[in-house]
Amino acid sequence: MDKNTAIEKGLELVQRAKVVMLASGGEDGYPNIRAMLKIHTDSLHLVWFSTNTSSEKIKHFLKDPRACVYFMDSQTFEGLTLTGDVEVCRDIETKKRFWVEGFEIYYPQGVNDSDYSILKFKSKNGKYYHGLNIISFDIKDVPLFE
């Protein structure tokens, strides 16, 4: 499989994924994985998440922005690993942009809830897995628009 096909397959995988794994550097430098809902992606360049400002992962990313996101389809044995950096966004424009109806369950005060934050993950590198194949690529080789 060539790099362009891997990138195309990776984009398709991201489109159909509902759940994403997110790893932070964690405390004491131990990596830490948790499942997150995918709220929005821009090509493979940016992955957006919402989270509680009080959550442990916010503390992790403010201390060390290095992160990894992983998309998987266990039916087709495909996986996509992206490594990059997370920025914690608390400005009202970003919070409004990604507000989803029903978020009131998590953030009762709505878009202005101080416990509502957005994580902006910016990719640097990607690795597409299919069965025993692994194809690595630089995010610069991925088109910005799908």
Binding site for a second copy (CB under 8 A): 19, 21, 23-26, 28-35, 64, 66-70, 72, 74, 79, 81, 83-84, 106, 124, 129, 132
Q: Which is nearer to a second copy, 40 or 66 (CB)?
A: 66
Q: Which single residue is written with the structure tokens 């994580």? A: 119
Instruction: Tell me the C-alpha distance between 118 and 52, whole Å.
Output: 9
Q: DSSP assignment of 82-125, as one string?
A: EEEEEEEE--HHHHHHT--TTGGGT-TTGGG-TTEEEEEEEEEE
Q: What is the largest CA-CA distance in the chain?
A: 49
* Closest separation in Å from C-beta 111 to a second copy: 19
Q: Which is nearer to a second copy, 92 or 100 (CB)?
A: 100
Counting every residue written for the chain, the total comes to 146
Angstrom CA distances, 89 to 18, 104, 141, stand at 22, 19, 26
Using the minimum distance from each CB to a second copy, give the nearer residue, 98 or 128: 128
What's the closest the beta carbon of residue 135 comes to a second copy, in angstroms?
Answer: 13
Shortest Cβ 91–a second copy spacing (Å): 25
Cβ 23 to a second copy, closest distance in Å? 4
Q: Which is nearer to a second copy, 21 or 111 (CB)?
A: 21
